[in-house]
Structure 1
Amino acid sequence: MAGESPFRRLDDFGAVMKSGVANFRGPRVRAHSKTERDNAVSEPLPSHMLAARLHGVGFENLHVERVPVPQPNDDQLLARVDAAGVCASNLKLIAQGSDHTFLNGWDLARYPIQLGDEGCVTVVAVGKNLSNRFEIGRRYCIQPAVDHPPINHRERYRNNGEGMSKVAVGYTLPGHLAQYLLVSEEIIAAGCLLPVTDSGMPYFAAALAEPISCAISAQDRHLHIQQSGPDAPREPKLGLLRGGVTMVIGAGPMGRMHAEAALRYRPRHLIVVDLMQSRLQWIEEALPARARAVGCELHAVVSEQAVDLLHRVSKGRGADDIIVAVASRAVQTQAQQWLAKGGVLNLFGGLKKGDHVIDLDTLRVHYDEIRICGSSGGSPADIAETLRMAAARELDVGRHMSMVGSLDQIGRALEMVRNTETDGKIVLYPHLRHTPLEQARNWTLGDEQTFVKCHA
């Protein structure tokens, strides 16, 4: 981050970043030049930290606690959490506890887990076997869906983790809702540690790379089969149809991310639909200039007007791509009828287990060759692409912000997400003193720096 870091000394940990991370000074510093390394001054890490940990099912088992700072082994890293996003997926985890798929029988009562799948970190300690690959002071985002079998604590999983091919940060791997995070061997082996190379990128922007990357990943799974002529070979094209008609159903936080990300494919028309006009206001304020810049006609309409508008702009063909960013069986079923021939329907909004089976119009699949796809999370490449887009100002991440506060606000933040009391993303800064949630509309680097300085 350019300029003086907003973080002040906390406990016995001195963290000063002047002129970006290149001049970071902290514990066990490995500076970027030989002179800086020779002059580096070691400062001890604190012995304890604050962490949001889940001890069982229900909000009554979620606590922000003072716990020992983890000590990395020779093949691990220790990172300071600079900012953490509050993800709605935590609600499912809190409701299901040890029955959650990613926990696979992990006993929360015996082994509480550190929550938080969204965030950005700065390395503060490096295991000796990693000293040639990682430097203290470097900033990273972590892809939380780690495609690697568990290495540590296999005995805590059902059947000793037999058959597991994936673990997750914020589940059985320590998450971002804490002051420090242990970067384990699985994360490193799976390539899930992505560098933040833009020194001017705010902490919140890097922290929200993960949810935005989920939209990037989902859209890249669309497949269109094209022919340049009747006798030409068929060619598969990944992504939304360029020059086509794209519809995003749902203008909540993820729907907005989808709408903004869709513009990179330059659709001729982008239609965003929601039940609430107030949510569509965000689309009308945030995206028109970006849409014009890529030759896209933007439409933000309430649900009752959507079908007529689609019929008009597509000249009766339907939509080439539809992304359902709401968890509604009825909408997922009905949207099949709104597709053009060869169109793609993305069931992005996950349905509740037990209410997750929908009707499929097999005649449309057979005669009109429509396709249905979905995705859960993304890959490290999606995080890297999101960071690139944010650095290139192809995304205005600050517009997706809603509220900010300190780590001890996690309970209230999750309640607001559950009750739809907030209209955007909440980001918590773990190293701040007690700071109630406050509005963070159109959040900027300057806003972040001022906020953190005031509450450190």
Structure 2
Amino acid sequence: MSKLEKYKNDFKDNKIPETMKATVLSGVGFENIAVKEVPVPEPGPKQLLARVDAAGVCTSILKIIQLGADHKYLNGWDPAKWPVIMGDEGSLTIVKVGNKLEDKYSIGKRYGVQPAVDHAPINYLERYNNNGKGMEKTAVGYTLSGLLAEYILIQEEVMEGNCLIPLPDDDMPYFAISMAEPISCVISAQTRNVHIYKDSPQTSRYAKLGIKENGVCIIVGAGSMGLIHIELAMRFRPRVLIVNDILEERLSWVNRVLKPKAEEKGIKLITVTPDKIYGLLTDITDGKMADDIILPVGIKKVQQEAFNWLGFGGVINLFGGLPKGDSMLNIDNIKVHYEEIKVAGSSGGDPGDYIETLEAIKNNDIDTGNYVAAVGSVDNTVKVLNMIKNNQIQGKAILYPHIKQTDLKMIDHWDKEKENKFLEENLKD
């Protein structure tokens, strides 16, 4: 049996160490984030212990580091007093089951986890403001144990929120499951777009969720999340898909990697810089403008300008957030009243979006390997966070907690075969 086969399938011994490596936040600021050796948690009667097979490093961690107890999802929980394990993206295998869950869960079964848990806190209420009263959401990698560690404690909040998600195929690669959370945010956002239809002048209106089929869709920004938006928008088969970005190298990547897929689906994919988008849009639509505009960029000026590109009955989706204190946009009443435009927004997914995402990955609606930029051991977490902070990485870093310490490896594309080879070479003995 190879090292990888043993790792994946052999749970007879199932030796769990006393300590593990984990990415721990112990205060506000980058000086308080570090990979440390900490005790492996013991699951309670209604808890699970899972092995983390792969984990993504999310941009949202930067906000937790910056805000600490002031973050909405920490709500007074002070990491200086009660350190928290970071990480909200990952792939899991159950290794220990609490005695009240033994009839439902088994060792060796694989799962993903939706980190945005729509459930009030159950544990450590005294650590939250006002003992957690009024809280309707908790989150993995915030006050609930996170995924940038060798093991994760799956707590009651996750179980009660139905956020532990079985895989549609147990042979799916670890990295792809780690990509499911950011992809689920995109799936959630795109289904917030609502278009109104009438089959004839005398029939009733009805609504459809999603990007308009055979319409004109604009994705503004070809950064990490924008690229995922582009590929997933193809599921709705718009007639024209316009990608707008200020950086030519990003647009070149779109033309090289995603344009062939669009052509296979009969979609005309056009890349354009901001200075040319209005004229291009006017020409290709005969002045009717866009049906859908999705804005993965959190830039106020860009979001405001995009309203001018929207056509009759169109939907503008404010996927990118704006900073508190500078978040007001002007909306022309005439555009709403006479042109019937709609404004949508979304800040994350739910378990249903996560399940839909896993199916989309399984069915190759999206090639998750397109968006992996680096791989390595969990020791690289702080380095990756600094790279994200300084805009030095385009795409997702996937870290494997159970490999020996390895330097971060920059890559162009990742797949199951490459992952298996990497793990076989680097798994700990």
* TM bracket, shorter-chain basis: over 0.9
1:361 matched to 2:346? The reply is no
Alignment match, 1:243? 214
**Residue aligned with 2:7, SS:** coil
- Please name the residue that 1:31 is paired with: none
Structure 1 equivalent of residue 423 of structure 2? 452
Pair 76,232 (structure 1): closer, same or farther in 2 beyond 3 Å? same
Q: 1:169 aligns with which of 118, 121, 140?
A: 140
8 A Cα contact 1:85 1:426, kept in partner: yes
CA contact (8 A) 2:14 2:95 kept: no
SS at the partner of 2:105? coil
Structure 1 residue 281, shift from structure 2 partner: 1.7
TM-superposed CA distance for 1:406, in Å, is 1.0
Output the TM-score relative to the length of structure 2.
Answer: 0.97
The one of 159, 183, 190 equivalent to 1:219 is: 190
Question: Match for residue 398 of structure 1?
Answer: 369
Contact 2:370 2:412 in 1 (8 A): yes
The match for 2:273 is: 302
User: Which letter maps to 1:25?
Assistant: D
1:321 is matched with which residue? 292
State the partner residue of 1:189.
160
Is 2:21 the counterpart of 1:16? no
Shift of 1:16: 2.7
Q: Which residue of 1 aligns with 2:40?
A: 69
SS of the residue 1:71 aligns to = coil
Task: Supply the AA of the counterpart residue of 1:64.
Answer: V
Q: Determine helix, strand or coil for the equivalent of 1:64.
A: strand
Give the match for residue 308 of structure 2.
Answer: 337
Q: Is the 8 A contact 2:180 2:354 kept in 1?
A: yes
- Greater Cα shift, 301-310 or 53-62: 301-310
1:405-420 alignment runs, 5 A limit: 405-420=376-391
Asked whether the equivalents of residues 20 and 151 of structure 2 are also in contact (C-alpha less than 8 Å), the reply is yes
Q: Does the aligned pair in 2 maintain the 1:5–1:449 contact within 8 Å?
A: no
**Does 1:293 find its partner at 2:264?**
yes
For 1:51-90, what aligned pairs fall within 5 Å after superposition? 51-90=22-61
Aligned with residue 6 of structure 1, among 4, 14, 21: 4
Residue 436 to residue 217, structure 1, CA distance change in 2 (3 Å): same
* Amino acid aligned to 1:163: G
User: Which runs of no fewer than 5 residues in structure 2 stay unpaired?
Assistant: none
**Matched residue SS, 2:4:** coil
Which of 235, 251, 267 is residue 264 of structure 1 equivalent to?
235
Instruction: Work out whether 1:100 is the aligned partner of 2:100.
Output: no
Change (3 A) 1:5 1:42: closer
Matched, 1:273 2:254: no
Shift of 1:74: 1.0
Match of 1:284 among 248, 255, 260: 255
- Residue type of the alignment partner of 2:201: P
Q: Which amino acid aligns with 2:67?
A: Q
Q: Which amino acid aligns with 2:339?
A: D
Instruction: Report the residue type matching 2:19 in the other structure.
Output: H
Which residue is 2:393 aligned to? 422
Instruction: In structure 2, give the amino acid aligned to 1:90.
Output: I
Render the CA deviation track for 1:273-318: whole Å, top value 9, x for unaligned.
1000101122112212321232211111222221122112222111
- 1:89-136 deviation per Cα after TM superposition (whole angstroms, max 9, x unaligned): 111111111100000000111100100011111110111211121111
Could you say which residue in structure 2 is the equivalent of 1:152?
123
Partner SS for 1:173:
coil
Identity rate, percent: 47
Deviation at 1:4, TM superposition (A): 5.4
Residue 352 of structure 1: aligned partner: 323
Q: Please identify runs of 4+ aligned residues in structure 1 that moved more than 6 A.
A: none
Counterpart CA distance in 2 for 1:427 and 1:361 is 43
Deviation at 1:5, TM superposition (A): 6.2
Structure 1 4/192 Cα, relative in aligned 2: closer, same or farther at 3 Å? Answer: farther
- Report deviation, 1:359: 1.7
TM (norm. structure 1) is 0.91
**Number of matched residues?**
427
Distance in 2, matches of 1:127 and 1:394, equals: 36
Question: In the aligned structure 2, how far is the partner of 1:182 from the partner of 1:163?
Answer: 25
Question: Separation in 1 of the partners of 2:244 and 2:233?
Answer: 14
- Find 1:442's aligned residue among 388, 413, 416: 413
2:16 aligned with 1:25:
no
Separation of aligned partners in 2, 1:270 and 1:341: 17
In 1, the alpha carbon distance for the partners of 2:248 and 2:173 equals 31
> Please, which runs of 5 or more residues in structure 1 have no aligned partner?
8-14, 18-23, 27-40
Q: Does structure 1 conserve the Cα–Cα contact (< 8 Å) formed by 2:372 and 2:397?
A: yes
| RMSD, matched Cα | 1.3
Query: C-alpha displacement at 1:6, in angstroms?
Result: 3.1
Specify the code of the residue in structure 2 equivalent to 1:101.
K
For structure 1, which segment, 420-429 or 165-174, has the greater mean C-alpha deviation from structure 2 after superposition? 420-429
Q: 2:99 aligns with which of 95, 117, 128?
A: 128
Question: Do the aligned partners of 2:28 and 2:80 also contact (CA within 8 Å) in 1?
Answer: no
Does 1:431 pair with 2:402?
yes
CA distance in 1 between partners of 2:249 and 2:103 (Å): 51
SS at match of 1:278: helix
SS of aligned partner of 1:285? helix
CA distance in 1, matches of 2:126, 2:369: 42
Q: Structure 1 373/70 Cα, relative in aligned 2: closer, same or farther at 3 Å?
A: same
Larger mean Cα displacement after TM superposition, 140-149 or 416-425: 416-425
1:335-386 CA-partner distances (Å, limit 9, x unpaired): 1111011100011111111221222222211111111111011011111111
Cα 1:135–1:366 change in 2 (3 A) is same
User: Take 1:137 and 1:297, find their aligned partners in 2: how far apart are those partners?
Assistant: 45
Q: Is the 8 A contact 1:311 1:318 kept in 2?
A: yes
